[in-house]
Structure 1
Amino acid sequence: MTTNISEINSPQKTPLIYKVLVIVSILTVVGGSLTGIMTYMNVGFTKHFYIDWLTSFLSAVLVMAPIGLIMITLINKLIAKLLPNTSELKRNLVISLCMALTMESLMAFVTATNNIGYGNIHVFLAGWLEGLLAALPIGLTIMIIMSVTIKPKMEKFLKS
């Protein structure tokens, strides 16, 4: 059995399933944590908390996945255009801040819709804002950590 030199020098492609599993894992941890906090702020810890959280999480994922892909592309392009001479780290931090605010606002909206509904718009808006403000510090912390440490490695991994 002979080994071709080009086979030794060329890096192996990462299987698509591994890439999908990594993205799903990150989405589950981040989205699950934040919707859990938002659900708690909306309804408290009731006997229905876990089903309220699960339906909020699944709804948020279904809404956020397509919107998140579009938003990250648009925000990346906008920040690259607005801050062309800024270091990659600073651009990543700005992108992370924009994405955290955008996605958490959307996640809080979906969670409040699921848990409170629109019967009383004032109660709905209060629930949306409480959920957003409670989860925002955690979401921002996660986004900063991800932009500084995980994002560059993720981009390299996803391109492999």
Structure 2
Amino acid sequence: MSDSVTKMNTPKHPLYQKILILVCLISFVVGSLTGIMTYMNVGYRESFWLDWLSSFAIAVLLIAPIGLLFMTLMTKLLKRVLPNGHKILHQIITGVCMAFFMESILAASTTVNLIGFTSSAAFVSAWLPAFMAALPFGLFMALMMSLVLKPKLEKFMVS
């Protein structure tokens, strides 16, 4: 089947649907990760939901754009460094790098938001458990994003 026929059969998705999909996806991933990190930093207490919401807001407003930029740069770098590398290899490397990068930044922003930065020792002792607790979920989500969701999202966004 030719490309012109395929394009004609592909439904055109309005911009609001594309934005809604991205908002839901980012909210789920960032919300889950900041929830884990909030719990690791302060435990479940009366103000847990407000603590989580403030960490989530900071993450969505500041960290999510950094993550999208990092993913774009990572993809371009891999194409340059491994031009003949298999697509799946590129996706796995991108996913693992994204997980470590994003979890590091999310754990730092959540820890500063909830604990503050009184000393580097206190910061690291709160940051590290938050990072380590969220890393398995973050690795899983980053690999799912890069292997499964990103290719589908790219097709959806073009349509």
The TM-score, its normalising length taken from structure 2, stands at: 0.91
Which residue is 2:66 aligned to? 67
Gapped regions of structure 2 (runs ≥ 5): none
Q: Which amino acid aligns with 2:148?
A: T
Q: How far did residue 47 of structure 1 move? A: 0.8
The TM-score, its normalising length taken from structure 1, stands at: 0.90
Q: How far did residue 112 of structure 1 move? A: 0.3
Which residue is 1:3 aligned to? none
Distance 1:36 1:13 in 2: 35
Q: How many positions carry a matched residue from both structures?
A: 154
Which residue is 2:117 aligned to? 118
Which residue is 1:88 aligned to? 87
Q: Larger Cα Rg: Structure 1 or Structure 2?
A: 1
Distance 1:100 1:122 in 2: 24
Which residue is 2:17 aligned to? 18
Q: CA RMSD in A?
A: 1.6
Q: Which amino acid aligns with 1:109?
A: A
Which residue is 2:96 aligned to? 97
Distance 2:10 2:54 in 1: 41
Gapped regions of structure 1 (runs ≥ 5): 1-5
**In percent, how many aligned pairs have the same letter?**
45
Q: Which amino acid aligns with 1:121?
A: S
SS at match of 1:98: helix
Distance 1:81 1:115 in 2: 40
Q: Which amino acid aligns with 1:91?
A: H
Q: How far did residue 69 of structure 1 move? A: 2.4
